[in-house]
Amino acid sequence: MQERSLEIARGHLDHFYRVMVQNYTDFMKRYSQQHQQHNSLLVNFVRDVEKLRAIKVHPSLQTTTNRKCLLDFVKEDNLRKTVEDCCSSHTQFEKVSKFEQEVGDLKRNAEDLFSGKASFLVRDLDLTVKDHQHVINEQKNVNTVKKLVNDCISRKWSSSLRSHDAVSALGLMYDSHEKNCFPRMQE
């Protein structure tokens, strides 16, 4: 039953893992393109502004608004604001590297889970529990005996439990312990 539950959970995990990897791949593709564009803009901005300033407009195209070079046709303040925004976004991109590390760790953990190691652990755990079931049962008996003895000593009897019943129950448990538990303890 546990193994079947694990297989179902693994199927769900596999589905969501594939969706996450696809979303991550799409994100990284867009991120790489945008990062490249931002980087290019930041690196080349001053040079490009100087080029716009250096390219003179033909005298016949110059208007009365005093536009002598190509830079005069754009609002330089708007360009600088765009570069500032780009620089701010670029700093946010640095956080993506931390995100990449976390996704890498998640991928490794998922791959370990998909490799089947977890199902072996569940099977091993199931076998271990079955192998130690007798110890669990013995511990239940010991706990019951302790409770009965403590109740006898403190004379706390419920209406359904009387001293005769307690002694009878202890007798059966004593026989079981004498035959099974005590010999093993002596070994």
Say whether 69 sits in a helix, a strand or coil.
Answer: strand
Q: Locate all alpha helices (DSSP H) within the chain, ordered by sequence.
A: 2-54, 76-114, 117-131, 133-154, 163-176, 182-186
With CA atoms as reference, report the closest residue to 166 among 181, 147, 182: 147
Neighbours of 71 (CB within 10 A): 19
**Which pLDDT value is given to residue 51?**
92
pLDDT for 54: 92
Q: What is the pLDDT along the chain (187 residues), one digit of tens a residue?
A: 666 777 787 788 888 888 988 998 998 899 888 888 888 888 898 899 899 889 988 887 777 678 888 888 888 888 889 888 888 877 777 778 778 888 888 888 877 777 765 555 666 777 787 887 877 777 787 777 777 777 777 766 555 556 666 666 666 666 766 676 666 655 5
What is the 8-class DSSP label of residue 55? S
Q: Please check whether residue 27 is in contact with residue 95, taking contact to mean a CB–CB distance below 8 angstroms.
A: no
Contact in structure between 126 and 10 (CB atoms under 8 Å): no
Q: Which of 109, 168, 91, 173 is nearest to 140 (CA)?
A: 173
In the prediction, which pLDDT does 13 show? 80
Output the CA–CA distances (angstroms, integers) from residue 148 to 32, 67, 134, 140, 151, in the order listed: 72, 103, 21, 12, 5
Quick one: pLDDT at residue 11?
Answer: 81
* Per-residue tokens: 117: 């190691």
